[in-house]
Structure 1
């Protein structure tokens, strides 16, 4: 038996399938299934000890990110990692699927999926992060779960608001003029008490007693109600009233949960460090830290940008190059937070303001410029957390100067490499337009040939046409 084993774990609700292979892809332990309970986890620990007793010195385990069902197995194996010889990683399902496609799997079962995971661990060790460079902190996991719960409430509240808009469209469309930028709280309070035009018409002074409704607005609402002749049943009135009440309750709940979450992390050193950056408040700092956890997870800022999907991406194939945009892959929570921070930073941050202005002057739309600011903000956050020093505009300007010089050198080197690459590609046949190519490709070749033509007075090293040979 080899000294290294690779354990693939395919997680399902209530149970998981396991396959153990060696570095050559040969199966050491055929597929087996364990329940996701205390007995199943205890049995897995016993099996790992048995494998080590038979000669395995290192066992590399992998689970796919499946929305939370993998957490029990991951936590168990992570707790055993300190004993030595055992490593566990959380894998991107897309990477594992690519392995399955590469080996041309025709049939997919739970055991086959577990084998694919083990195969990925064995064949691509440089792509797997076992989290050895940072300490896994359980409090951040709880914070992310709390954040997910808040987002769930926000989503439910948004769904209720959208449905309420549809109900109002059929019963009281005149009040929708107040809902162009969302449903205002005063309207929700009014609909909770007076859900139909008839009840609005019949109330005497009830409207003006509602917070947010002035006497002038109350008169305007009464006028709109008089113009409405649509009959509304008592059942529909009840539905609208309950929906408005539920939305108000959800909004109060969301606000309370957000404040509670902030109170739990407001004294965190990393949160305080980020909070000093113009454009990043307490709420945003907490969300950013909960998403990033330990900055040592990322070897470089480019990897962190790719992880959270704020890096630019494009596609080039044949004659075409298209789709240049932000990738938007990975968890969207941090991108949403960065977006709001960028909107604030474009007004108050001395580093982001000129960047936004320059992007707009170069022809970018507002959202494109905000995307650039999001990427810049993430780079700033990386530098702040990596150095442990608060935001300093002067330091950023100095770093920007160095980066610009480095970027110019990189551009020049890239230009030379591109030319050299094209020379190598056409080393067996000259660059010409005689082939059956598209018009777009022919135009590119003509432009490239013209740019490579010698300028006046430049020697080509060849005899001129007038020279007699």
Structure 2
């Protein structure tokens, strides 16, 4: 059991910090930018806690930026699935839900629980992550502009401006897509992973690229279930005695980017993947809702993706044993 740990609860504009040391807490708040990271590092030195493990929830780029800053300065960092932190808080009967209390809960979690330390992905994966995230942003902006064009816009000047902007966005999208393609060509190991993923019916180039960018090294996950939890695709059940038995829902506490791309992949897999078709058909006969079926299909695809990468073998519908942790 560790004697000292730091919990960080990160939001868009700031992050709350709690240092747990010999059953007492020292707290601070910093801005979520490089100035705040620098202030945090100096605070850790001042509190003689530079050697303490820093623990934070996996909240995307907000956590990654802080983690990278600390990692580069030799500080031990762990980024934990929010579902684990939430379950731990509930086990401790924590009632208050504030950023300050969350930071303290994360620090206490780091004192008592086992977890692995975070290391940044290789430079090529970091570049891929930046490119696929930028591509998603551009496509979302194109959709917004297209919707504006279809709305009741009477000004010819405004319509011309929108059309010009859409053309520019399309050019940027084509450029980013070419850069992503070139990146895979320059790194055979990434290209091999992409081809393995694309062997799974329902998973296309976009889903494969996003999976590699967001997951990184598949070996850091001990099982497909752990990977599904990272993506927020594990079901949550609401049962109590015989009177309360609500339908299960996805936890949605995990990587939202993975869930987004796997939603579209599941829609395709329900029509083309034999395992997913079988699953969907069985759930339909059981009277499951459409969203429950899609959620289960997303989870099945994540399990299949884990299997082909772990085994380094393409998808084979005739050899189920080749797929790890499918159930």
Taking structure 2 as the reference length, the TM-score comes to: 0.75
Question: Is 1:137 paired with 2:105?
Answer: no
State whether residues 233 and 298 of structure 2, in contact with CA within 8 Å, keep that contact through their aligned partners in structure 1. Answer: yes
Q: How does 1:195-274 map to 2 (within 5 A)?
A: 236-266=155-185, 267=188, 268=190, 269-274=192-197
Deviation of residue 41 (structure 1)? 6.8
Give the secondary structure class of the aligned counterpart of 2:5. Answer: strand
Question: Is 1:148 paired with 2:133?
Answer: yes
For the residues of structure 1 that align with 2:59 and 2:325, how far apart are their CA atoms?
39
Cα root mean square deviation, aligned = 4.1
RCO comparison, higher one (Cα < 8 Å, 6+): 2
For the residues of structure 1 that align with 2:62 and 2:325, how far apart are their CA atoms?
43
Question: 1:61-117 deviations in whole A, cap 9, x for unaligned?
Answer: 123455534444312332455xxxx531124567379749945559x686x665444
Unaligned runs of 5+ in 1: 53-57, 169-231, 408-469
For the residues of structure 1 that align with 2:202 and 2:173, how far apart are their CA atoms?
22
For the residues of structure 1 that align with 2:60 and 2:221, how far apart are their CA atoms?
22
Partner of 1:283: 206
Deviation of residue 322 (structure 1)? 1.9
State whether residues 41 and 70 of structure 2, in contact with CA within 8 Å, keep that contact through their aligned partners in structure 1. Answer: no
Question: Is 1:75 paired with 2:64?
Answer: no
Change (3 A) 1:33 1:372: closer
Deviation of residue 297 (structure 1)? 2.6
Question: 1:421-467 deviations in whole A, cap 9, x for unaligned?
Answer: xxxxxxxxxxxxxxxxxxxxxxxxxxxxxxxxxxxxxxxxxxxxxxx
Aligned residues: 318
State whether residues 25 and 122 of structure 1, in contact with CA within 8 Å, keep that contact through their aligned partners in structure 2. Answer: no
State whether residues 262 and 286 of structure 1, in contact with CA within 8 Å, keep that contact through their aligned partners in structure 2. Answer: no
Question: Is 1:8 paired with 2:41?
Answer: no
Deviation of residue 381 (structure 1)? 0.8
Change (3 A) 1:148 1:395: same
State whether residues 96 and 120 of structure 1, in contact with CA within 8 Å, keep that contact through their aligned partners in structure 2. Answer: no
Change (3 A) 1:365 1:45: closer
State whether residues 96 and 117 of structure 1, in contact with CA within 8 Å, keep that contact through their aligned partners in structure 2. Answer: no
Partner of 1:20: 19
1:118 to 102, 107, 115: 107
Deviation of residue 159 (structure 1)? 2.2
Question: Is 1:308 paired with 2:227?
Answer: no
For the residues of structure 2 that align with 1:64 and 1:241, how far apart are their CA atoms?
45
State whether residues 16 and 28 of structure 2, in contact with CA within 8 Å, keep that contact through their aligned partners in structure 1. Answer: yes
Unaligned runs of 5+ in 2: none
Change (3 A) 1:307 1:30: closer
For the residues of structure 2 that align with 1:30 and 1:15, how far apart are their CA atoms?
14
Taking structure 1 as the reference length, the TM-score comes to: 0.55
Change (3 A) 1:248 1:362: farther
Deviation of residue 294 (structure 1)? 1.6
For the residues of structure 2 that align with 1:11 and 1:148, how far apart are their CA atoms?
20
Partner of 1:332: 256
Q: How does 1:168-179 map to 2 (within 5 A)?
A: none
For the residues of structure 1 that align with 2:86 and 2:290, how far apart are their CA atoms?
37
Deviation of residue 301 (structure 1)? 1.5
Partner of 1:372: 296
Deviation of residue 136 (structure 1)? 3.6
Partner of 1:167: 152
Change (3 A) 1:265 1:98: same
State whether residues 311 and 322 of structure 2, in contact with CA within 8 Å, keep that contact through their aligned partners in structure 1. Answer: no
Max radius of gyration: which structure?
A: 1
Change (3 A) 1:309 1:97: closer
Give the secondary structure class of the aligned counterpart of 1:394. Answer: coil
